[in-house]
Structure 1
Amino acid sequence: MSDESWDFTSFDGVGLKIHELGTGRPVILLHGLFSNAETNWIKFGHARKLASSGFRVIMPDLRAHGESDAPHDPEAYPHDVLVQDTLALIAHLGLEDYDLGGFSLGARTTAKLLVEGASPRKAILAGMGLEGLAGWERRQDFFLEAIATKDTARRGDPHWLAIQFMKSQKIDTVAAAHLLRTFSDLDADQLAGIETPVQILCGTEDRDNGDPEKLADLLPNGIRTDIPGTHMSSVTKAELGEEMAAFLTSKNNL
């Protein structure tokens, strides 16, 4: 079972790299900020776990991440562009019966997709709590400051870990800064209207994006699942892929 990659031209001509593993029921997985499909889903075995459970795992490198294009033109970053990219990919693949999930920024994008008309059978919001889906301006400012101080910040600076991760993933910071300004907030009424069964999957030490229990309680068909780890370390745990597979293969919606 090997990872296959192919090129996709999105709605506005920007090129995205799509990674796939396995055959069977389609599930689209969206990675986190400053990450990519390899780091988030492939490296630690989560995609392989899903593929071995009967899924065709479809994993785009998001715009300005991984092997996808990272244009510097601000016009390449319209409002909620990652939502537009994912909807374009779903349409290109002709998917009507599929599952959808994401980690952190990918979870934020997944939630936005659910209120913008995407209709997966089930969805997964990993590394996400209620507060992480609103008040984006504060988080945006944090990451923009990390970009601005990437060459001057020292260990102990609150931006240090984000900067080191960004550097390790060879992020184009000009493109990333444009992308950070495209995200919009979700409010409680929008979230309460999501009827899709949703798994809220979060590390026991992860509150970077707020309270997962509050988010699960707000969603009509939300279920909270705990796994070991912090926001960063939970991605490395086998339990992430195992719990995703268990949720998606469950006969029950909840």
Structure 2
Amino acid sequence: MHEHQTQMITSFDGTPLAIHRLGEGRPVLLLHGLFSSAEMNWLRFGHAALLAGAGFECLMPDLRAHGESGAPHDPEAYPQGVLTQDLAAVVKALGLDDYDLAGFSLGARTAAAAVIDGLAPRRLALCGMGLEGLSGWQRRSAFFLDAIDRFDEVKRGDAAFMAVAFMKQMKVDRVAARLLLTSVDDIAAGDLAKITMPTAVICGDKDGDNGSSEKLAEALPDAHHVTIPGTHMSSVTEADLGMAIRDFLAEN
């Protein structure tokens, strides 16, 4: 597969978090999407290798309840905003002060929330995310909670079929995933003004899963919109995603 290294850190509450690393140079934190992992989102389709080749050190955590990170079944392990607290713990554990931040889908949502909470990357890339996916998260979350609850009865043709198939492929811990979904808050539209660093909103041309990416770019103080090919699921498999992140981060 890919020559990457994995280290474990301990988050604010003792939960172990896996961080996968590839490349040397300017650090960029890459946050994967819901039910995915660093391996699936960033390594498998070559995005991390592309960034590493451009002089970046890719730091790719597995989110809580995903990949090789801890997936506790105790509801107390999922306070509101737990993913942003985990991200702050990662930044602290790695001693990052000058770095870039990119996230896909739930990773983009986590990145935006963390910046609102005080993280200050030089540049921010929000991928596979629209305005409604930030401010109307409860609707999106309800779709996935329903998919988890009906997991064994969902058939082809059901709106939840793709989500359930992906959960099966990724061997998702459904108890932990369900708890995690309930810990994610809506982001108030007014708080987007706090995202002041240069931001790229990168989204597939057929990806409306999280609402309008154009509206999200318009709502941010210093953002531009980048269109890449694909749907929410397929855009991750296309080299264009990695190239769009690379081109944005390489700008002066």
Q: TM-score range by the shorter chain?
A: over 0.9
Retained in 1: the 8 A contact 2:140–2:210?
A: no
Q: Give, as a single letter, the amino acid of the residue that structure 1 aligns with 2:166.
A: F
Match of 1:38 in 2: 39
Q: Do structure 1's residue 157 and structure 2's residue 158 form an aligned pair?
A: yes
Q: Give, as a single letter, the amino acid of the residue that structure 2 aligns with 1:121.
A: R
Match of 1:213 in 2: 214
CA distance in 1, matches of 2:71, 2:93: 21
CA distance in 2, matches of 1:154, 1:25: 45
Match of 2:178 in 1: 177
Q: Do structure 1's residue 191 and structure 2's residue 188 form an aligned pair?
A: no
Match of 1:18 in 2: 19
Q: How does 1:93-104 map to 2 (within 5 A)?
A: 93-104=94-105
Q: Do structure 1's residue 240 and structure 2's residue 215 form an aligned pair?
A: no
CA distance in 1, matches of 2:194, 2:84: 18
Q: How does 1:37-186 map to 2 (within 5 A)?
A: 37-186=38-187
Retained in 1: the 8 A contact 2:115–2:194?
A: no
Q: CA deviation at 1:92?
A: 1.0
Q: CA deviation at 1:192?
A: 2.4
CA RMSD after TM alignment: 0.8
CA distance in 2, matches of 1:223, 1:185: 23
Q: CA deviation at 1:155?
A: 0.6
Indicate the SS of the match to 2:166: helix
Indicate the SS of the match to 1:154: coil
Indicate the SS of the match to 2:172: coil
Indicate the SS of the match to 1:201: strand
Q: CA deviation at 1:134?
A: 1.2
Indicate the SS of the match to 2:125: strand
Q: Give, as a single letter, the amino acid of the residue that structure 2 aligns with 1:129.
A: G
Q: CA deviation at 1:169?
A: 0.3
Q: CA deviation at 1:193?
A: 2.9
Q: Give, as a single letter, the amino acid of the residue that structure 2 aligns with 1:77.
A: Y
Q: CA deviation at 1:234?
A: 0.1
Q: CA deviation at 1:157?
A: 0.6
CA distance in 1, matches of 2:195, 2:3: 35
Residues paired across the two proteins, number:
251
Q: Which deviations, in whole Å up to 9, do the C-alpha atoms of 1:195-243 show, x marking residues without a partner?
A: 1111000000001001011111111110100000000000000000011
Retained in 1: the 8 A contact 2:104–2:127?
A: yes
Q: Do structure 1's residue 226 and structure 2's residue 250 form an aligned pair?
A: no
- Identity, in percent, stands at 56
Q: Which deviations, in whole Å up to 9, do the C-alpha atoms of 1:140-196 show, x marking residues without a partner?
A: 211111001111111111110000001100000000000000011112211123211
Q: Give, as a single letter, the amino acid of the residue that structure 1 aligns with 2:194.
A: G
Retained in 1: the 8 A contact 2:27–2:56?
A: yes
Unpaired runs of 5+ in structure 2? Answer: none
CA distance in 1, matches of 2:140, 2:133: 9
CA distance in 2, matches of 1:173, 1:120: 32
Indicate the SS of the match to 1:71: coil
